[in-house]
């Protein structure tokens, strides 16, 4: 009787999942896949994919996610369960509910994993191993940053201590760059509201990864790639990269780290590397499969199969070979990379824009019959690639259509007819309602400012939001910004927008075009009395952006824009 080998691959919305499915299918292994409810996944279109299962989002409902996986494993038998991202890896690694299946979870030992997830601990291990790291300092407060200022050289890099903090929201955070002390303090304050922050010196060099498989602290297979295009331009996931021969110094540095961590499983050790001098700096360690996995598989470094053999069969790789000078492209991201380059969208102090000749050379690699591959598009498994192209086309169509629609809306709300209609409404208004998403920033500020600046207008003011939770205090950062301007938001508590509020209001001001559409879709009778607050001031942008979770300057700008708009209204009443 044939024994069917079966694996469960999580994070099916990630392209790395598709690479794992394709790899293991070549060796006769059935791969079921799982993804959060509502997330689009290319893997489900693969001819090699087994069943698709949907689970709660681990970022917003970690307990529900763990309960689903535990219940699923009680009913289904797998040789291996492979988390592809930290959003699924972290809750599984730290939940005692997963203890019965710990042997089939492709997750490194908890102590090793914690040191990799915490960037400060990672850098401490690297220092102990003699691995070169950027000048780094962990900070817990803005005061800590201020103490560092005399010794810093700009630009500097700010990294969240964990890309997904251990907090209720488990929001995914990104690296930021500061070019002066003001930017550093603002960006640092925004990140510190979520977790500890690592302030690092900016490192020169090419983004390079040593991808590896380790057996309890010993590297048993290694692969190296070099990033050619990154999104964002200043550094991030690669959209175009190539395989290169393993550099002995980088491999030795990675080996020291892996041994010190007693790492077991796959990992990528990321460096900034200067090939001409051999100088390198450690950036981070990813303790999971990486985004450029399709390149490794295309070059013959079949990491999913190697992991399966090691974890399930206890077999180490028999060979260390792979093909260098193989190029691989993530089509959607690389199209976006070219767009950003042509638009010159990034800070030139951090990104050296390539020449036209280099851009053309990189693009022409798609024509090479044997040395170029795509992350998704494959002749042997065509449907995911076709769906990827469809999604790319849909995304750009929606962007263009959205821009055209937005331009039409802006012209409409800037028109003399709209200005006259608003003026007539305000003359007859007894009550004005301000609406934003959460009612803890923009609409709350608008209500309090209007009550002060238009106190003699004989109008009642109120505010509300679409957010489904009432009674929340105003955003602490906005409270501080407003207090500096003599405005007290301490008594503000959020309200949920409802039909009774709207029926009572003579004029409803929203902050964004999307909110206007949402309001009119949910409450069709409000169309004639709904306006954008930015319409009051023709000299400023029509939409007022949400400052939530952004730098303090965003809050200050938001406050000023709202105050200026209301000032235009007050000035009109005085005339």
Just list the catalytic residues. 436, 442, 546
Q: How far apart are CA 227 and CA 234, in angstroms?
A: 12
Q: How far apart are CA 331 and CA 393, in angstroms?
A: 12
Beta bridge partners of 221: 213
Detail the DSSP E strand segments found in 140-278: 156-160, 176-178, 197-201, 206-215, 218-231, 237-244, 265-274
Q: How far apart are CA 446 and CA 436, in angstroms?
A: 10
Q: How far apart are CA 410 and CA 407, in angstroms?
A: 5
Q: How far apart are CA 434 and CA 453, in angstroms?
A: 15
Virtual CA dihedral for 152, 157, 162, 168, nearest 10 degrees? 100
Q: How far apart are CA 241 and CA 232, in angstroms?
A: 14
Q: How far apart are CA 396 and CA 536, in angstroms?
A: 32
Closest to 316 measured CA to CA, from 386, 244, 220, 222: 220
Structure-block tokens of residue 446: 């608008």
Q: How far apart are CA 10 and CA 55, in angstroms?
A: 10
* Helix ranges, 229-318 (H): 248-261, 293-298, 303-308
Cα of 110 vs its chain's centroid, Å = 25
Beta bridge partners of 238: 230
Q: How far apart are CA 437 and CA 565, in angstroms?
A: 19
């Amino acid at each position: 009787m044939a024994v069917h080998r079966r694996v469960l691959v999580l994070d099916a919305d990630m392209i790395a999942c598709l690479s794992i499915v394709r790899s293991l299918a070549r060796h006769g292994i059935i791969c079921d896949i799982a993804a959060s409810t509502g997330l689009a996944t290319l893997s489900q279109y693969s001819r090699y994919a087994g069943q698709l299962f949907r689970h709660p989002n681990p970022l917003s409902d970690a307990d529900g996610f763990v309960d689903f996986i535990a219940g699923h494993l009680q009913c289904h038998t797998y040789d291996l369960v492979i988390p592809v991202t930290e959003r699924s890896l972290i809750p599984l690694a730290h939940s005692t509910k997963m203890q019965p299946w710990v042997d089939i979870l492709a997750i490194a030992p908890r102590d090793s994993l914690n040191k990799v997830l915490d960037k400060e601990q990672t850098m401490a291990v690297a220092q102990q191993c003699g691995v070169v790291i950027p000048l780094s300092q962990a900070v817990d407060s803005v005061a800590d940053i201020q103490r560092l200022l005399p010794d810093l050289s700009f630009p500097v890099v700010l990294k969240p201590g964990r890309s997904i903090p251990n907090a209720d929201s488990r929001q995914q955070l990104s690296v930021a760059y500061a070019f002066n002390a003001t930017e550093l303090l603002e960006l640092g304050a925004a990140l510190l509201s979520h977790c500890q922050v690592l302030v690092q010196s900016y490192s020169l060099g090419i983004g390079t990864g040593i991808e590896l498989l380790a057996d309890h602290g010993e590297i048993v297979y290694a692969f190296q790639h070099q990033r050619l295009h990154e999104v964002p331009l200043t550094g991030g996931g690669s959209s175009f990269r190539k395989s290169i021969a393993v550099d002995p110094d980088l491999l030795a540095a990675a080996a020291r780290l892996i041994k010190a961590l007693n790492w077991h499983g796959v990992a990528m050790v990321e460096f900034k590397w200067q090939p001409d001098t051999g100088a390198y700096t450690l950036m981070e360690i990813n303790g999971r499969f990486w985004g450029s996995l399709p390149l490794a598989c295309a070059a013959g470094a079949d990491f999913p199969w190697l992991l399966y053999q090691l974890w399930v069969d206890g077999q180490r790789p028999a060979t260390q070979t792979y093909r260098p000078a193989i190029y691989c492209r993530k089509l959607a991201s690389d199209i976006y990379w070219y767009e950003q380059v042509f638009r010159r969208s990034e800070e030139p102090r951090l990104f050296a824009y390539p020449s036209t000749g280099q851009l053309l050379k990189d693009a022409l690699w798609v024509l090479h019959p044997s040395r170029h591959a795509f992350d998704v598009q494959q002749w042997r498994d065509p449907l995911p690639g076709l769906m990827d192209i469809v999604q790319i086309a849909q995304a750009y169509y929606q962007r263009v259509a959205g821009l055209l629609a937005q331009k039409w809306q802006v012209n409409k709300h800037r028109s003399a007819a709209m200005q006259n209609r608003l003026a007539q409404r305000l003359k007859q208004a007894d009550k004005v309602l301000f609406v934003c998403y959460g009612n803890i920033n923009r609409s709350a500020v608008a209500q309090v400012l209007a009550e002060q600046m238009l106190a003699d207008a004989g109008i009642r003011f109120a505010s509300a939001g679409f957010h489904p939770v009432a009674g929340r205090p105003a955003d602490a950062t906005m409270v501080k910004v407003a207090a500096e301007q003599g405005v007290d938001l301490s008594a503000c508590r959020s309200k949920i927008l409802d039909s009774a509020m709207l029926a009572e209001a003579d004029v409803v001001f929203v902050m964004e075009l999307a909110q206007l559409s949402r309001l009119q879709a949910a409450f069709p009778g409000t169309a004639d009395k709904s306006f954008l607050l930015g319409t009051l001031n023709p000299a400023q942008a029509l939409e007022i952006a949400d400052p939530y979770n952004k730098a303090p300057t965003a809050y200050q700008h938001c406050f000023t824009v709202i105050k200026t708009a209301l000032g235009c209204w007050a000035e009109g009443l005085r005339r």
